[in-house]
Amino acid sequence: MRLLTWNINGVKTLPKYHPWNTLASFDEILQKLEADIICFQAVSSSRRTQATPPSFDAFISLPVKKTGYSGVATYTKSSVVVPLKAEEGLTGLLQPKLPLSEEERISKPGAYPPRLLDDDAEGAEGEDELDFDDLDSEGRTLVLDFGLFVLINTYSPNVGDTPARLAYKMAYHKLLSVRVKGLIEKERRQVIVVGDVNACAAVIDHCEGDLMVRKGREEGMEGEAGFWGEEYRRWLKDWVKEDGGTMVDVVRKFWPGRKGMYTCWNTKINARETNYGTRIDYVLCTPGLLPWIKAGDTLPSIKGSDHCPVFVDFHDKITNPDGSVTKLRDALGMGPRDEVEEPKERDPPRLCARFWDEFSGKQTSLAQFFGGGKGKVSSSTALSSTPTPPSTVTSTPTPTPASATSTPTESHVTMAQSDPPSITTPNTVLASTTAAKRKFVPEPANSTKKAKVKEKKSKAGQPSIASFFAKPSASASTSKSKQAGEPSSPQGHSNSAVDREMDVDGHDREDEDHKLALQLSQEYSPQFNLSSSQSSVASSSNGSGDGKRKDKAKDAWTSLLAPTQPPTCRVHNEPAKEYTVNKPGPNKGKKFFICSRPVGPGYDKGKSERLREHVDPQYRCDFFKWSSDVRREQGQGKGALNEKP
């Protein structure tokens, strides 16, 4: 059996990568991962998305308030393993609409953090109280009980840019460690914690860990103190340390000295290209589960996110100290799996997505609400089938096929005439009156003018280049004055004025850009529209003056339309690469050039962030220049060259 964890950075991003974009369904994506228990973090999806794959049981926790943010999901292959119990959150306070019973809950009330922290309150004086509801409101944890172990799928908060977010992260870490402590000490359970912890457990887990240690020593710190300055790193180091730690870092246990075993890269700076990353995704377990675990590793070759998957494999069976053999399926409560005996079948816990109202048939969809069920007689049908007295039925002549297809106006009339007969009761008189108001009627004689106005608006579309340089038309000022409430012209003249306006502005604009280009060219070359013979005579008579103006116009057009040539960075003397600012702010949309080399340990972040002796010149330098400055400099250079005799 394989257990896999992966921060997918949004479930909708997977189909944008190969090979996921070649698969027809989300169930096929899960099958392609070749794992039996799949834990996703940063799902960032709505409630209905990827909730019921046929081959898996889905357990999903989403934020209570924020939609499309955070979220975790655990998928278990129903043919291999089915959890015994499941719940959201770490506190035990987050419950479905119908709260879980004591038999459905994973732990007893005394093993949840609220009760444990209350018991330890006397020895924790001066500490801030945790906001349990807030910590469980972002959809960051799913807890599943498999019998052999309790699985916690977690997505730890990022440190953020504010002290408040750092405090939230540390409070979440404390809540997680207390929940695990309650399972181990109060209930004697084995625990597996998987997911994105957003922290490094060792110096070797960070691409610049050695540089941080080196910088700390230069500042007078001892040992690795330069790396352990962050509180959340110290928390994780103490949690997984070999001597006295609560949990075991399984993958590092199998690869103790392996460098570059990263799981997360900054895709904005193409850090994955040079493996400039960090290891913040883990599979942690209690020491008692180590005999069951056969292997563990990262899968950096699998793309689809800024993280890569991490997995562990379990033995199918183990030999106990007394010589007896225990099979994994028996330990998981799944029963035998052979041809002699059929495996046991059981339903997943009630938290499974298939039991949600929208998937279990308890909640109808919007289409079903308006569509109506099959076999039901609608009210309109019942009314039309009821016998009515002859005096109350309004007869309507049936149109001929020729009249039904002659003109659009006649077709509207036909629709009005083909309505079923109605009953003139007090309740239906009002309904028939309202229906009559909704019927199509022939358009008035002046509808041609309205059609022209609509045609003019539809043809306007995207304005052309010429419209930006032309003076405001009289029609625009007239329309503005009418909207402002100014008196209009007499009716006898208004219709003709509107008609003239239609004739002028309603024409096809497909050649206006071309006309503008000709106009600009003619400013430098008056003889442009002349014939070839006339042009040659004019050019010979005008001399070289017009030729210079012509060359100047050509250079102006070339400079305007030519792409910006990339400058060269100062350190490597190589062409820089252009990027666009996407961050909201005053510079959003502006373009800039930076060094084209990839990032790596010791790349130049600038003098304020990187000491000169720590810079590695083989990676990106600190070259930066706005594209507008580059174009201005190139334009000045061309102007200087053109001014030379």
| 49-81 pLDDT, tens digit each | 578 899 999 999 999 887 778 899 999 999 999
> Which residues face 295 on adjacent strands?
313
User: Does residue 312 surpass a pLDDT of 90?
Assistant: yes
φ, ψ for residue 516, nearest 5 deg: -65, -40
φ, ψ for residue 143, nearest 5 deg: -120, 125
Q: Is residue 198 annotated as involved in ligand binding? A: yes
Residue numbers annotated as active site:
155, 196, 307
pLDDT at 522: 57
> If we measure between CA atoms, which residue out of 27, 29, 5, 10 comes closest to residue 19?
29
Peptide bond into 300 cis (omega under 30): no
> If we measure between CA atoms, which residue out of 64, 67, 65, 20 comes closest to residue 43?
67
Q: How confident is the model at residue 589 (pLDDT cuts 50, 70, 90)?
A: very high
| C-alpha span between 577 and 621 (Å, rounded) | 12
pLDDT at 13: 86
CATH topology of domain 2-94+106-113+131-332: Deoxyribonuclease I; Chain A (3.60.10)
CA distances, 507 to each of 150, 447, 457, 466, 503 (Å):
73, 20, 12, 14, 7
Flag whether the pTM goes above 0.75.
Answer: no
pLDDT at 46: 66
> Which residues face 193 on adjacent strands?
152, 284
φ, ψ for residue 558, nearest 5 deg: -65, -40
Q: Is residue 134 annotated as involved in ligand binding? A: no
Least confidently predicted of 183-187, 459-463, 494-498? 494-498
- Percent helix, strand and coil across the chain, each to the nearest 5: 40, 15, 45
Range(s) within the chain of domains with CATH label 3.60.10.10: 2-94+106-113+131-332
Q: Which residue has the tokens 């041609």?
A: 448
Of the two residues 36 and 558, the one the predictor is more confident about is 36
| C-alpha span between 252 and 232 (Å, rounded) | 19
User: Does residue 203 surpass a pLDDT of 80?
Assistant: yes
Residues of the chain above pLDDT 90, percent: 48
pLDDT at 404: 41
User: Does residue 393 surpass a pLDDT of 70?
Assistant: no
Contact 94, 88 (CB under 8 A): yes
- 432-463 in b/e form (b: 16+ CB < 10 A) is eeeeeeeeeeeeeeeeeeeebeeeeeeeeeee
Least confidently predicted of 264-273, 295-304, 532-541? 532-541
| C-alpha span between 53 and 28 (Å, rounded) | 9
pLDDT at 338: 52
**Three-class DSSP category at 118:** helix
pLDDT at 497: 38
pLDDT at 543: 55
pLDDT at 500: 36
pLDDT at 493: 43
| C-alpha span between 461 and 245 (Å, rounded) | 67
**Three-class DSSP category at 191:** strand
User: Does residue 640 surpass a pLDDT of 90?
Assistant: no
Least confidently predicted of 136-140, 298-302, 480-484, 620-624? 480-484
Q: Is residue 243 annotated as involved in ligand binding? A: no
Contact 281, 7 (CB under 8 A): yes
Q: How confident is the model at residue 610 (pLDDT cuts 50, 70, 90)?
A: confident
Q: Is residue 427 annotated as involved in ligand binding? A: no
**Nearest 10 degrees: CA dihedral of 243, 245, 246, 248?**
-80
Backbone angle region of 195, left / alpha / beta, with phi > 0 → left and psi within -120 to 50 → alpha: left
Q: Is residue 306 annotated as involved in ligand binding? A: yes
> Which residues face 142 on adjacent strands?
88, 153
